[in-house]
A = this chain, B = another copy of it.
Amino acid sequence: MNSPVFRNWQSVQDEVLRRIRTRVWKPGDLIPNEADLAEEFGCARSTVNRALRAVAEAGLLDRKRKAGTRVAAQPVAKATLSIAVIRREVEERCRKYSYQRITRAECVPPLDVSAAMRTPAATTLLYVRALHLADDTPYALESRWINTDVVPGALQEPFQDISANEWLLQHAPYTDGEISFSAVAASTGDAQALGCAEGSALFAIDRLTWDADRSVTKVRLLFAPGHQMRTVL
């Protein structure tokens, strides 16, 4: 067993991962350069490059020109969460999806919302509150503000049968977005909608999307108690 020969970048990646995980290459270590590895693995440098780049993207290697490649001393575990459309999320768990709009109104938002969306304080926005259900039990409560200057079409949409969640994906272009996760206590209204006790610990996702420098929409999703997001490392 001299040179096992790795003919594709995935197998090179696997070998690199193996060496990192079994501590052949320890955290902080400088690993051989691409040319040397290519020779050792019996493949082209570009193949090694592809593999190392992938591992570096995963956060397990730090690469710097000239300085070389070293094993990340503190591997920043990058958990990639897939935030899908809620209907799909529910259906993927093999449960029946349904949707109920609670309220729809054009009104002036609270100050924290207009501040976050950078709209003038007195500007009217479209507010939609709706419930997503799985097997007819509350799954997530959506509270959304829509900037109708950016998405005028939303004014014609009742959001009675299709959720704003899905409608916006189809109709509203955006260039940037931010997302945050937190835990919040259920307010009276939240608890009523989700059918849980007031003050329950709820998993919350807040999303804010931008089209260039104009905010498109701001949404908070509150999930029913017990909800968890999982991912593999």
Contacts and interface: CB of A to CB of B under 8 A. Distances in A.
A230 interface: yes
Contacts of A85: 74
A9 interface: no
A97 interface: no
Interface stretch (A61-69, A104-112, A152-160, A166-174): A166-174
A231 B206 CA distance: 11
Size category of the A interface is 35 or more
Given A59-B82, A80-B80, A81-B79, A177 B233 contact: yes
Contact of A181 (B82, B174, B199, B229): B229
B201 A77 contact: no
Contact of A183 (B76, B183, B206, B230): B183
| Prevailing SS type, chain A contact patch | strand
Q: Which of A79, A81, A176, A207 has the most CB of B within 10 A?
A: A79
- Stoichiometry, as copies per complex, reads 2
Contact of A179 (B59, B77, B174, B227): B77
A138 to B, nearest CB: 15
A13 interface: no
A31 interface: no
7 contacts: A23-B173, A75-B169, A76-B82, A79-B179, A181-B228, A182-B183, A199-B199
Counting from the closest, the 3 A-B pairs by CB-CB distance are A183-B183, A177-B233, A201-B201
Given A78-B82, A183-B201, 17 more contacts: A21-B175, A22-B173, A74-B169, A77-B207, A79-B81, A81-B181, A177-B232, A177-B233, A178-B231, A178-B232, A179-B232, A180-B228, A180-B229, A182-B228, A183-B183, A199-B199, A201-B202
